[in-house]
């Protein structure tokens, strides 16, 4: 793909968009248009990032000929946007998770294949050097056989930590989000386990509204993924006072890795309380979602690893199995695996 990529932005109600737009601007994209019904958000995008066109609906975007679209709307809206883009040969970056349901995720995969376009599911954890280095060490056998991958994502709640009303209003809507905390925050652990361990044999889960009686969805959830000789654990909380405990654990037969604060610690027999591991910086072209997505498009290669469409779809299957398991109290095999 030669020249400056023409970027359209569909949806401004996922607050992560305001971190990503400066990254795309730094990569020299040509801002084409933003599509969102909320005038204060489209005016901000025009004012701060030079998007000349602000559109209330998607249909007006096509005459502006975007090369790619960044989707940052409600989870349930991703599938129709990707379908419309793929039918016109437009590549898409979807902010996490891929969709609200597994059926929607499969629609995305089908549309991408039919339209021969690249679709990337952005997980902010993919740009944490500790996560990438822990995965590399695990794959290289530095820990021995990995038997547990655990990720806890937690804070005091979307409203409480300052998310905009545009964002938290749909996070608290089970149809638009897919659930509550389970979809919003167990998704990180589901994706990491899908990436590092692959498809689980079965999934069990619990979810509940343990504290926040003013919201209609679950505020805490745990998903347990069972493999032949490993466990995956995804924890989510919207009721935790403060941000710790939070983060990744990868446990192997010889050693474990724990993301603690800003450090990555190796825990083994010689260092039972942990020893800091030197973590290399991410390489140029893969330091943030904009850099990586654009490099994939310029080289016409599918996004790989944690942000791949395959991992995003498998994570969605795990999340849907978790919802079913939490509802029935029974272990569930993720659909389509």
Pairing of strands 220-226, 231-237: antiparallel
Output the pLDDT for position 3: 75
Query: What letter does residue 307 receive in the DSSP assignment?
Result: G
Sorted by sequence, the CB contacts under 8 Å of residue 310 that are 6+ apart come out as none
Domain boundaries, given as residue ranges, for the chain: 6-123, 126-284+315-328
In whole numbers, what is the pLDDT of the chain averaged over residues?
97
The topology (CATH level 3) of 6-123 is Rossmann fold (3.40.50)
Cβ burial 237-251 (10 Å sphere, 16+ → b, else e): bbbbeeeeebbbbbb
- Over residues 233-237, mean pLDDT: 98
**Pairwise CA distance, residues 49 & 105, whole Å:** 30
Output the pLDDT for position 2: 63
- Over residues 190-206, mean pLDDT: 98
Is the separation of the CB atoms in 34 and 54 below 8 Å?
yes
CB count within 10 Å of CB 223 equals 28
The topology (CATH level 3) of 126-284+315-328 is Dihydrodipicolinate Reductase; domain 2 (3.30.360)
pLDDT digits (tens, 9 = 90+) for 138-178: 999 999 999 999 999 999 999 999 999 999 999 999 999 99
Q: To 5 degrees, how large is the angle CA 109–CA 110–CA 112?
A: 65
pLDDT digits (tens, 9 = 90+) for 271-302: 999 999 999 999 999 999 999 999 999 999 99
Output the pLDDT for position 337: 56
């Amino acid at each position: 793909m030669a020249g400056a990529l023409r970027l359209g932005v569909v949806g401004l109600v996922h607050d992560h968009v305001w971190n990503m737009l400066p990254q795309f601007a730094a990569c020299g994209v040509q801002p084409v248009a933003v599509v969102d019904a909320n005038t204060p958000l489209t005016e901000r995008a025009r004012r701060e990032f030079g998007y000349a066109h602000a559109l209330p609906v998607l249909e007006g975007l096509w005459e502006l000929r975007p090369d790619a679209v960044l989707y940052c709307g409600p989870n349930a809206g991703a599938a129709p946007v990707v379908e419309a883009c793929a039918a016109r040969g437009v590549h898409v970056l979807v902010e996490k998770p891929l969709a609200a349901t597994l059926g929607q995720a499969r629609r995305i995969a089908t549309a991408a294949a039919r339209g021969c376009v690249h679709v990337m599911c952005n997980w902010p954890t993919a740009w944490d050097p500790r996560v990438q280095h822990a995965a590399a060490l695990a794959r290289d056998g530095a820990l021995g056989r990995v038997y547990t991958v655990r990720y806890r994502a937690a804070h005091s709640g979307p409203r409480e930590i300052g998310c905009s009303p545009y964002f938290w209003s749909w996070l608290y809507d089970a149809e638009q989000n897919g659930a509550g905390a389970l979809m919003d925050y167990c998704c990180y652990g589901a994706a990491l386990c899908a990436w590092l361990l692959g498809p689980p044999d079965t999934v069990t889960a619990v979810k509940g509204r343990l504290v926040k009686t003013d919201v209609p969805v679950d505020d805490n959830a745990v998903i347990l993924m069972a493999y032949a000789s490993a466990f995956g654990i995804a924890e989510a909380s919207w009721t935790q006072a403060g941000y710790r405990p939070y983060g990744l654990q990868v446990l192997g037969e010889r050693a474990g890795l724990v993301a603690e604060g800003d450090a990555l610690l190796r825990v083994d027999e010689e260092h039972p309380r942990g020893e800091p591991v030197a973590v290399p910086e991410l390489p140029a072209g893969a330091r943030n979602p904009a850099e990586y997505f654009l490099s994939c498009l310029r080289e016409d290669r599918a996004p790989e690893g944690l942000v791949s469409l395959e991992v995003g779809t498998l994570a969605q299957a795990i999340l849907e199995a978790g919802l079913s398991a939490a509802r029935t109290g029974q272990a569930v095999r993720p659909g389509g695996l």
